[in-house]
Every structure is written in C-alpha cells, then in structure tokens.
Structure 1
Amino acid sequence: MKNNILLVVNPVSGDLDKSELIAAVKAFAGQHNYILTIYSTTGNADIEEIKTLYERYKPERILVAGGDGTIKMVTEAMQNDNIIIGILPAGSANGLAVDLNLPETIAENLEIAFFNDYMEIDIICINGKKSIHLSDLGVNAEMIKNYEGSAIRGKLGYALQTLYTLADLNDPFVATISGDFPTVISEARMIVIANSQKYGTGISINPNGKMDDGKFELVILKNMDLLVLGKIIAGNIPLNVNDVEIISTNKAIITTNIPVSFQIDGEYCGMETRLEVKILPKQMKVAVPESQKIII
C-alpha cells in the first residue's frame, strides 16, 4: 500500500533504550503522511511475523532499528521480495552502518531511510547461512562468545572481552583454503570472511572490500602480536604475507585442523572445521547516503 512503512525494532540490541528512536520515527512518519507499523522482535518466529506483516501492509520500505543481526534477519525474511531497507543503527556494533557511512544523528538517518536512493549489495552464503557484513573464524569469534556470556554490554563490553580473549590465546590453527586460486595452507589466528571493509568499531580489516562487486575477501591473519594488532587498530593493516594474506574470490572452501570458534555478523555460531563460502550477488537493497553509490 502506498505510504506504508514497517519499522522492525530489536528492543535488546546494544542494550540501548529505543524509546527515543521510536518516538522520532513516529513523528517523522506523521510529518510526511506515512502510515507506520511497528514490530518488536522477540526471538521467537520473527522472520515469519515480518513476512506476515509485509504481506498484510505491503510497505514501501522496511526500516530496521537494531544491529547487523537484526538487519540480516529482515533481509532473510524479505529475500524473495523487492523491498528497500532503511537502517537506523541501534546495535552494540553497527558494522554495516559504519561501512555505508551512515551519519551519527537520528534525524539524518531518518531522511536517508525514508527517502534516499538505494544500492544493491551482495550477501555471502556460509554453510547455507547468510552473512551481510563480516564473519570470521578464530580470535574475534572467541571474543564474541565471551561477550555474549558477559554482563557488560556495548563498546565497553567488547573492549573488555577483547583484552581477556587476547590474554588467553590458544595456539594458532592450521587452515586449508581452496577455490579458483592456488590452495593456501597456513597457520592462522583468525580468518575473516569479508563483504565489506570495517568492523562496527571502525577498525578496517579489508581495505579494498566492496559490497557490490560480486566478490568477497578472505583475510588471513597469521600473526597477531602487539605490533600487528597496533597497525590494524590504527587503520593500517599490514600486508606482509608473513602476517596477513588477502584472497579475493567468489567461492572458497575453508577447512581447519581443529574445531575453531566461528561468528556471522556479530553472532556466535559455535565451533567449525569446514566452511563452504560463496557470494550471492545483488541480494539486498539498502538506502544509502547520496555519495555512497559512488564510493562503493
């Protein structure tokens, strides 16, 4: 229906109060004569509920107030429908919003989410699961597992768990990576499966990544001593093959000699020894700042 907007809110993402954000969306929608439907996720049959609401109201756009996991869930619900998604960053670490250069303020994001043009971005399929942003094996996934079990949320929680995880590092694992490139066998502390450039913290892990080029990057971090970590945090990822190797491809198989912690878009997925990875081009329409279609 014309002038219908569906807002999907994750009430627990980022441990943030969403009342101010919801009030701003309501006011903006009313000001521009939109009929607003609000759905709060519960963790129980959310995808089916979103599909039902979409079929009932046929909104022009779906706005998502949450983190990367919530955006991914809405994308999966809408995978067979031609719908533009507007992002209102409200997670612990809003990685996709960071990569899309979305602004800091609610007012600016509302303008973009409601009215701006969109870009079509790729999605990565990993063992049948969808990833819209960054997934990885190793240290960061272990940190996310620790974070999910911690009582301290937000960026402080991430920082503390990063320190705890690095202080308790296990031995590196050995990965074998094959695809349409020479097979790579390497020790690794972490392997990032990247559809974009930056984590939600702003740290650049894949400097040349593009979300609409039909490829993903495998960033193999072989060494994570303090010097390498310092360069990564400073936004200058080292490209010495002894420390970091980057493979750009559209499909790959990763196997490890031991089970390794694995995460997708900030959500811990358990231990894995084999990942089948492929790109799914042009799967998601997302509203972006005016300059973004040129940048990416």
Structure 2
Amino acid sequence: MKNNIMLVVNPISGDVDKSELIDATTIFAGNENLNLVIYNTSGASDIENIKVLYETYNPERIIVAGGDGTIKIVAEAMENHDVIIGIIPAGSANGLAVDLNLPSTIEENLEIAFHNDYMEIDMISINGKKSIHLSDLGVNAEMIKNYENSSIRGKWGYAIQTVTTLIDLDDPFTATITGDFETIKCTARMIVIANSQKYGTGVSINPNGVMDDGKFELVILKNLDLVVLGKIISGNMPLDSEDVEIISTDKAMVRTNVPVSFQIDGEYCGTETNLNIEILPKQMKVAIPNLISGII
C-alpha cells in the first residue's frame, strides 16, 4: 500500500496558474511511489478541511503551494500534529521562502519539500492570531490594503502601491511599547513584528532575526523618508541611527494613539490600537535546503 503525501494548493495566490506545479508534483510523487492527495483552498473552512484530510490519509508530509498566508493556514490546521511542511513558493510575495533561501525552480523545491531535513520555527501570537513571518503596523500595512484593492498583482503591483502609499502618507502615530524592557513612547511610521529577516520582495527589515530562537523583534521605524527608505531597500538597514530602533523579546504590548493599519503575513487585518504579542516557540516543522540546516 502506498504512503500518502498531501498537496495544499492556493489556486489564486500570486495570480498565476498552478496546473504546471500540480502536474510536476503529481509526477514527482508517482516516481517516489507515493499517493498524492490534493486539496485546493477556497477561503471557506480550509483549516477544518485540511484537518479532516490529514486524519483520513495520515500523510508523511504536507506540501504547500502558495504564499505565507497559505502556509499559515496549514500550520494552524496541523498545530496538534507532528508533520513536516514542504514549501513550493507560489504567492505574490513569498516571504518565508525568501528567508529560507528556497530555490527558484519547481523541481528543486520539490526535492527539498519531499526529502530534506527540517527546522522547527517559532510563530508569534498577536491578539490571538498567529504570524509565521512578518506583521506590521503603519505604512506597509496601508500599502497591502491598497494592493489588495488594486488589479495589478506580483512585485510590479507591490512597487506601484508602495509609491502610491508614500505619496498619500498619513501623519505618523504615537506608540507606547511595554514589556520586559524599559517602556518606549515614540512617534513612528511603522512597527514591524518580525519572526524573520526579509519581506517577500527581498527587502531586509530585521537583519539579525532568527526563526527558531524563541524571540521576536519589534522594528520601530520612527522616520521613513526617501533617504531611510532607500537605505532599507538597498539592504543598508540604518541600525545605528535615530530613525530605527529594534527590540528583541518574547512578549510585548503595543498601544497607539489612533487606529493604525495592521497586517499579518501579507494579509490586511484592518486597523488596531492595541496589540498583545508573544512568541510561540517551535510551532512548525519546515523542510529546508541542506545548506542552511542548523544555521538559521
């Protein structure tokens, strides 16, 4: 009797057709003498449906073809199960895949997803919602809201909305941040809650982030003028300046003086004035390239 592998596909992520990816995964599984169980997300009851399929087929691994949001759906469905998740990057911006240094071709990613070792990465709880990668308050969340309301997808769409958002920039907000550190009260353009280093665009926002260290970082961007933005985009994060402050911790509370746009893993979540944040250590097993095993 063949063992099972499960493929979870987000058919609309990245605004690209997934048929080639599904065909390649089906062939790969066949060559490995594995039975492939395919589930297409719909946005309705996906977590419960994935749980049922897991209980029915008990797959050796679950392969995710989508972006960070799809990965998070699978991770939440599997929070009480010991299963390795493989990633085939197929979203508009594949932040976790970028941080894991996953390759660009389907074939290379299939080899990693089916066979490679794994690392146990942390997740972050923000007001009871889970984040696997990068969440934030402020400018970037506003940009994601604009992106979701636009018709242009992919990195080009992100670039257009970045410019549009900066042109229409609101006044900065005031934040009070408390935790096991000295209370911080500051004016900010953006506060990032980071479990890793890079956005899916490749921009490094938290250069020293580690995904399995039991900590997250609060990256406070107090200024985001064109000079600072240019440094961030070019990979020269201004760490030793009055424009940026980074706090590494396992728990924090953020309060803002006005409602501020908020996003989790690339999904706009409306506005918030209060965030209760804590680390959830070693929540998910993710297949990784051999070269980074034991390093991240």
Question: TM-score, normalised on structure 2?
Answer: 0.99
Specify the alignment match of 2:132 in structure 1: 132
CA distance in 2, matches of 1:141, 1:228: 18
Calculate the aligned-residue CA RMSD, in Å. Answer: 0.8
Specify the alignment match of 2:209 in structure 1: 209
Specify the alignment match of 1:277 in structure 2: 277
CA distance in 1, matches of 2:10, 2:88: 11
User: Runs of 5+ in structure 1 lacking a partner?
Assistant: none
Query: Is the contact made by 1:2 and 1:59 (CA closer than 8 Å) also made in structure 2?
Result: no
Question: Segments of 4+ in structure 1 off by > 6 A?
Answer: none
User: Runs of 5+ in structure 2 lacking a partner?
Assistant: none
Give SS of 2:290's match.
coil
**C-alpha deviation, 1:3, in angstroms:** 2.1
CA distance in 1, matches of 2:244, 2:96: 23
AA matched with 1:285:
K
CA distance in 2, matches of 1:3, 1:25: 15
- Match runs of 1:140-155 below 5 Å: 140-155=140-155
**C-alpha deviation, 1:223, in angstroms:** 0.5
CA distance in 2, matches of 1:2, 1:120: 27
Query: Is the contact made by 1:252 and 1:276 (CA closer than 8 Å) also made in structure 2?
Result: yes
Give SS of 1:204's match.
coil
* Cα displacement string for residues 30-65 of structure 1 (whole angstroms, at most 9, x for unaligned residues): 011010000001111111110000000000000000
CA distance in 1, matches of 2:132, 2:119: 14
Residue correspondences, number: 296
AA matched with 2:165:
T
Matched, 1:3 2:3: yes
Specify the alignment match of 2:189 in structure 1: 189
Query: Is the contact made by 2:2 and 2:33 (CA closer than 8 Å) also made in structure 1?
Result: no
Question: TM-score, normalised on structure 1?
Answer: 0.99
Specify the alignment match of 1:294 in structure 2: 294
Matched, 1:114 2:129: no
CA distance in 2, matches of 1:219, 1:42: 33
CA distance in 2, matches of 1:87, 1:133: 14
Specify the alignment match of 1:82 in structure 2: 82
AA matched with 1:87:
I
Q: Percent identity?
A: 75
**C-alpha deviation, 1:295, in angstroms:** 2.5
Query: Is the contact made by 2:69 and 2:267 (CA closer than 8 Å) also made in structure 1?
Result: yes
